[in-house]
Structure 1
Amino acid sequence: MSDAGTTFRLIYSSHSRIPTADRETALARIFDVSRANNKKAGVTGALLITDHYFVQALEGDEAIVTGLYERIKDDSRHDQVSLLESGTVESRAFPRWSMAQVSKSGHADIPLHDVGGRIHPAARATLRVDEIEVLTRMRNVIGADTV
């Protein structure tokens, strides 16, 4: 993982093209593959999902994160991909999450933790201030409730 002052964060939004009937299966596949790949690559972040939109924050080495974003832009499961912000940050907002799924409203977030190399829902997790700030910016993109 990147040291403080050298973490690159990129946030983008996109419109989901996944049919409602296929959503559960498609999203489960996205999370399974992405969590495993992100963990290997040292990438952390969060993916906000609504009925029609995705907003994702990716953190890690700049070359790895921008390469991942380039692949994500070509994914046919979404369109209207828009870069919202990118740049170096002092530290990761999501150091615990290879990719956390978050909801459009603050109370329905799925807190996650790593157990034996696998991500599992936690009974309760307290969000840190920097996590809340980035999640709030992500939710504001789609006009979702804030934390």
Structure 2
Amino acid sequence: MTSPATDGPDGPVFRLLYRSHNLVPEQDRRRVFGEIFTTARSTNKKLGITGALLLTEDVFVQVLEGDETAVRGLLGRIEKDARHDDVVVLTAETVPERVFSRWAMARVSTDGEPDIPLIAGARGITVAAGRGVTKEQEALLDVMREAAHGQRHEV
């Protein structure tokens, strides 16, 4: 049986984009960010949530797509997480379909570094190879990058 995060575009879905202040001490970031991605990929796959996460020294910007109850529940846990402060929801809406339908979670780069999409499949989480991104994904990734730099932008 496949999870909603592996089925591809699945019709209308709830999408939430938030930005928060990063409270992870600089000396712990490499380890903590690794833990965040490991946990996010596993948890999101179980919940049928897809999305992308952008991390900088100062902020987290994340897009979550899935069932509204599951996404809002995950946001509630994020708001209580000591690694975040000042969680601000930038958009929360039902959209025609997932943009990140196969991404359990992805590391989004800033300033031209490569993005690392991670695919949830029957064998677990793997790095996407050679697929590139769609124009819809690139547009939403650009919104995330703008949000990381403090610019509010509607999706």
TM-score by length of 1: 0.89
The percentage of aligned residue pairs carrying the same residue is 44
Structure 2 stretches lacking a partner, 5+ long: 151-155
Q: Which amino acid aligns with 1:45?
A: G
**Contact in 2 for aligned 1:8/1:88 (Cα 8 Å):** yes
Give the Cα separation in 2 of the matches to 1:107 and 1:125: 16
Q: CA RMSD in A?
A: 1.8
Aligned to 1:4: 11
Which residue is 1:89 aligned to? 95
Q: How many residues align?
A: 143
Worse-superposed segment, 104-113 or 62-71? 104-113
Structure 1 residue 111: Cα displacement: 3.4
Q: How far did 1:87 drift?
A: 0.5
The alignment status of 1:136 with 2:142, answered yes or no, reads: yes
Structure 2 SS opposite 1:124: coil
| Alignment correspondent of 1:118 | 124
Judge conservation of contact 2:65–2:98 (CA < 8 Å) in 1.
yes
Q: Equivalent residue of 2:52, what SS?
A: strand
> What whole-Å deviation, never above 9, does each CA across 1:35-68 have from its counterpart, x for those lacking one?
1111011000000111111100000000110111
For each residue in 1:83-108, what CA deviation from the matched residue of structure 2 results, as whole angstroms up to 9, or x when unmatched?
10001000101011111111113442
How does 1:1-147 map onto structure 2 within 5 Å?
Answer: 1=4, 3-5=10-12, 7-114=13-120, 117-143=123-149
Unaligned runs of 5+ in 1: none
3-state SS in 1 of match to 2:17:
strand
